[in-house]
Structure formats: C-alpha cells, structure tokens
C-alpha cells in the first residue's frame, strides 16, 4: 500500500518530515508543507489527504542542507509566477507564495504555466453546478536530469516509497532490467483530489511543451499538475454550489489515525507539565477531522488503496 499515491498507510511519525502538521493545519496555524526534501510519495500523500479535507495548504520547496540533503543547496525549490516584470520584487514574490501561485521542483522540471478555466494556481473557480473544466499547462524538462533515486531516474529496491528521497540515495537499486527508468520521457499528470484524471508524456529535451486537458468536475475539488517525483503545482480549487472541498471521508479518518499515532510516538517526550495541554490540542484537531468526515458524503471515497 505504501508504494501507491495516494494511500492509507499510517506512517510511524517518529522521525523527520511532516509530523505535527496534521494538528497545526487543522487548528489554522500551518500554511505550508515543505516539499522536495524527503521521500516524495510520503510527502505528497500527506499533502493530498490534508487538501482532501479542504485545508488550503500550500507546498513550498525545501532544502535542509546538509542534514536531509547532502547533494546540493536548492534540492527543493519554489518557483512563483510573477508575470512579466522588470525586476524581482521580494515582497511580491512572498505574496505570490502565500497565494500558492507557484510550483515546487527539484530544478530539473518546470510548470511554466498552469491554469484551470484561466485561473492560475492558488486561485479559485466558483461554479453553480458541475461543468467541464479546461486545464492548460506549459512544461519543460531538462535533458541532463541525473539518473539517481532523488530525481526518479532509478527505482530503489525498497520500492516507490523511496523515490525522490534525498537521504536514502544510496539505497540499493532494483534489478538491472527495471532499475533505470526511461530518461527521455516525462509523464505529466492531471491530478484531481489526489487521483490521476489524465496524463500525457513529453520528452525531456530542454524545450517548452504546451498541454491541454478537459475534465468534468462533479463536486468541489482541487486540481493540480505534477510530474512524479520532480515537480508539482499548487492547486486551483473548483468550488461547486458553494460547497467546501470534502473529497474523501477516508482522508479525514487517515488524519485522525495519524494524530493518534503521533501521540503514541511523542507524548512521553512532552514535558510532564505540558502534556495535558498538548493532549487537549491534539484531540481538538481530531474533533475537527471527525466533523469533516461527517461532512464528506457517502460515495466520495476514491482512494485506490482503499479498494
């Protein structure tokens, strides 16, 4: 199950990466998830479940150098859409990051444009009823992407869950026949509520490639474009009939299970005089997810790993 994206495997939550994010996001004190610095499948799986619960969590690139990534500074990057400008204004860049008008990348893969019905990443589309939405994107991939685990060029023996990992890049590779993925092509996927809705292959040839997708959106959803494991846009939210995004009851239940596991792994490490307050905080987040689970109607659970 842990090799699928998305999946319902509950992580151990006793090390690094996204840990208290399930609590802080539910309480409204977390705006970003750091990406491109740990195993990509685990990163994005966590992000997808939180987006499925309707939280406006944005992805931002991170390089924890040299702790998590000893390869280079800039292993995880954030590219913000500023439009045509004469100079880079840092305040405007930060404002674009807050809005989610951006994508994360390892520097070798790019979504130079991404719109849904003309709305950019970080924006919102409001529809009175289900409609077909047109997605346009312009992507480019470097022909010199390293053939390494961190960039998805090789398949680690430990499984897909380790692809993109900047720590376990010395992981043994799988058999010689299947370890090297095709370095000439990249699979660009349209993602709706964590599920692949459509895809197209483009060459990694240092050139820009314009792609179009048309897909019917039947309920409030988030829409993004990705190439696993190298690049992911922040989503455009499509709100139908003023209903919040409640993409999957199982996502809310997964977040509850993650908080319960986090408490088992962490509670004894919290100072004794702060433990009860921490417990109340954790369980108030659980109450929020329970409410979200109740609001997610039957028949909305489409996680492939759940079937």
What percent of the chain has a predicted confidence (pLDDT) above 70? 92
Within a domain: 297: no
Count: domains in the chain: 1
Within a domain: 279: no
At 178 the pLDDT is 52
Show the domain range for 162: 21-246
At 156 the pLDDT is 82
Contact 62, 94 (CB under 8 A): no
Over residues 78-104, the pLDDT tens digits come to 999 999 999 999 999 999 999 999 999
At 182 the pLDDT is 75
Q: Would the pLDDT of 51 be above 90?
A: yes
CA 189 → CA 31, 48, 131, 173, distances in Å?
Answer: 25, 15, 20, 25
| pTM of the predicted model as reported, rounded to 2 decimal places | 0.93
Kindly report the length of the chain.
307
Instruction: Give the pLDDT band (50/70/90) at residue 304.
Output: very low
Within a domain: 9: no
Q: Would the pLDDT of 24 be above 80?
A: yes
Give all strands (DSSP E) within the chain, no chain letters.
32-35, 58-61, 77-80, 102-105, 109-116, 119-120, 124-127, 131-141, 185-192, 195-203, 208-217, 221-227, 231-233, 236-240
Q: Would the pLDDT of 174 be above 60?
A: yes
Instruction: Give the pLDDT band (50/70/90) at residue 166.
Output: confident
Contact 5, 41 (CB under 8 A): yes
Q: Would the pLDDT of 270 be above 90?
A: yes
Within a domain: 124: yes
Within a domain: 290: no
Coil, helix or strand for 226? strand
Calpha distance 69→209 (Å, rounded): 30
* Residue 273 CB neighbours (<10 A): 7
Over residues 180-222, the pLDDT tens digits come to 567 799 999 999 999 999 999 999 999 999 999 999 999 999 9
Within a domain: 287: no
What percent of the chain has a predicted confidence (pLDDT) above 90? 75
Average pLDDT over residues 112-116: 98
DSSP, res 154:
B
Within a domain: 168: yes
Average pLDDT over residues 37-66: 94
At 300 the pLDDT is 47
Within a domain: 280: no
At 299 the pLDDT is 45
């Amino acid at each position: 199950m842990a090799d699928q994206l998305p999946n319902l495997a509950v992580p151990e939550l006793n090390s690094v990466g996204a840990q208290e994010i399930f609590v802080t996001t539910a309480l409204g004190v977390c705006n970003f998830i750091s990406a491109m610095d740990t195993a990509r499948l685990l990163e994005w799986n966590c992000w997808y479940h939180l987006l499925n619960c309707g939280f406006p969590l944005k992805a931002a690139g991170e390089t924890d150098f040299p702790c998590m990534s000893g390869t280079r500074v800039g292993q995880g990057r954030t590219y913000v859409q500023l439009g045509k400008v004469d100079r880079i204004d840092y305040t405007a860049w930060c404002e674009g990051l807050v809005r989610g008008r951006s994508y994360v990348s390892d520097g070798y893969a790019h979504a130079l444009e991404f719109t849904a019905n003309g709305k950019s990443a970080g924006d919102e589309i409001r529809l009175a009823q289900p409609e077909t939405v047109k997605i346009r994107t312009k992507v480019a991939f470097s022909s010199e992407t390293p053939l390494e685990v961190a960039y998805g060029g090789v398949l680690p023996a430990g499984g897909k869950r380790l692809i993109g990992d900047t720590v376990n890049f010395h992981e043994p590779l799988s058999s010689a026949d299947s370890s090297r993925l095709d370095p000439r092509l990249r699979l660009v996927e349209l993602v709706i509520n964590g599920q692949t809705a459509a895809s197209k292959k483009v060459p990694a040839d240092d050139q820009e490639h314009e792609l179009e997708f048309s897909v019917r959106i039947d309920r409030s959803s988030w829409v993004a474009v990705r190439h696993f494991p190298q690049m992911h846009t922040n989503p455009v939210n499509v709100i139908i009939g003023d209903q919040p995004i409640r993409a999957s009851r199982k996502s809310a239940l997964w977040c509850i299970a993650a908080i319960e596991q986090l408490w088992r792994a962490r509670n004894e490490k919290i100072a004794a005089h702060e433990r009860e307050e921490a417990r109340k905080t954790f369980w108030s987040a659980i109450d929020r997810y329970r409410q979200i689970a109740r609001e997610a109607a039957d028949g909305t659970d489409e996680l492939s790993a759940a079937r």
